A and B are shown apart, each in its own frame.
Chain A
């Protein structure tokens, strides 16, 4: 009988994590911050059709970095889950927390049991009735679930982006200011990001039902002025 080579579990997990991290680092980053009237997500994305940021439900938005087909599959799962839940119970019973848990389960299971881990990081944002009840759930490739306050950075080079953003960001900023700060944190000192390189969407507080709104290039350019 063939004996498989022994691999220490630490080594196995480390290899998988390295693999996932490498995949994620190849893509562009995105940031989400609270502003005075909701949550804004700014992603570096040159495509106008393959979205990184999208709507899940009335007050819930989704953003993903890494491999497109993988986070898009997770996004579809989220929309389906939320819509069925809202149909079966009520629109008020759909919340980001339980969906974030489901994502963490899926990513964690795949990380330990499947041949290949997901090469994604995802963000689930929910806009509340006031800034204190806003929620940002950051879920890593291995299922690690983080409940973040105020701002969240996903993707390659997250550390330096977070540092730049922490120095400038204020929760009381208006939308245009918040977008400008996010863009300069994403680009760093050596690059300039224009509207065509960006994908911007907000979850606006106080809307009747669907709070999610995406901005087109012209609107983004206007916010950057």
Chain B
């Protein structure tokens, strides 16, 4: 594969996916190749995002499953897309990972060619086009459904979006959760959400939502104390993406366990 020197008529512009197509590396070409309904590929599960006073919190568990088998215990489904945004993915893991990679590259590619980053809304739009490009894959059972969150530097606020398999893009004002444990996680977020929460409260709420999702959904992993594997939790503010370290999360989950234990003891005694 050689990247040619494009003339004006077929220059792909600042778009990385159209560049890939021009050089014969269409990332979604698998989507036309027969029936894969019976295919067993690893799936990622619960991911969520919450808005708070200074930005957004994004979080996701670490488990990937293949049917009822745990295929990976430390998958990272929540990753930075660039300095001021993040993407969380549930769905077929292999395709999701490639989609994240292309999305990150697309943002960086544009930034380098044009000399400035895409607006936050523009980034969400780009992601929705990638989800749409995978539509025929989704019809064959290889769906990928992301959440996108970030800090909008033009409007000085955190914003978040969820998507459907057709590329539909919906901006949410408070929180969003998706994946197989998305239902219980949403309920926890809905009950616990307050406008104007600070980062600490928002992180605790996210941890609680993941905890409850893992409690009822076998495909969602809880905190794994034995192996020291904790969910990915990150905040995105005006200062950019910052992932919380495991020792911080360990303390939060420890507190959560103690609360639940004392509640239980309260009801039995």
Contact = CB atoms under 8 A, between A and B. Distances in A.
Interface string A55-68: 11000000000000
B193 interface: no
Interface stretch (B17-25, B57-65, B126-134, B223-231): B17-25
A32 to B, nearest CB: 19
A106 interface: yes
Interface size class of B (residues with CB under 8 A): 10 to 19
A83 B115 contact: no
B16 interface: yes
B5 to A, nearest CB: 6
B5 A83 contact: no
Interface string B32-48: 00000000000000000
Given A51-B115, A54-B115, A88-B1, A83 B25 contact: no
A142 to B, nearest CB: 17
Nearest to B116: A49
A81 interface: yes
Contacts of B16: 83, 87
A83 B1 contact: no
Contact of A77 (B5, B112, B115): B5
B5 A87 contact: no
A76 interface: yes
Given A51-B115, A56-B112, A87-B105, A80 B19 contact: yes
Contacts of A51: 115
A194 to B, nearest CB: 23
Nearest to A55: B112
Nearest to A57: B112
Contacts of B108: 83, 210
Contacts of B101: 87
Given A77-B3, A81-B3, A87 B20 contact: yes
B109 interface: yes
A76 B25 contact: no
B5 A54 contact: no
Contacts of B19: 80, 83-84
Given A80-B19, A81-B3, A106-B5, A88 B115 contact: no
Contacts of A55: 112
Interface in B80-110: 101-102, 105, 108-109
Contact of A84 (B5, B25, B115): B25
B242 to A, nearest CB: 14
Q: What are the 10 A-B residue pairs with the smallest beta carbon separation, nearest first?
A: A81-B3, A79-B112, A80-B3, A83-B109, A84-B3, A55-B112, A79-B113, A80-B19, A87-B105, A77-B5
Interface of B: 1, 3, 5, 12, 16, 19-20, 23, 25, 101-102, 105, 108-109, 112-113, 115
13 contacts: A77-B5, A79-B109, A83-B19, A83-B105, A83-B112, A84-B1, A84-B19, A84-B20, A84-B23, A87-B16, A87-B101, A87-B102, A87-B105
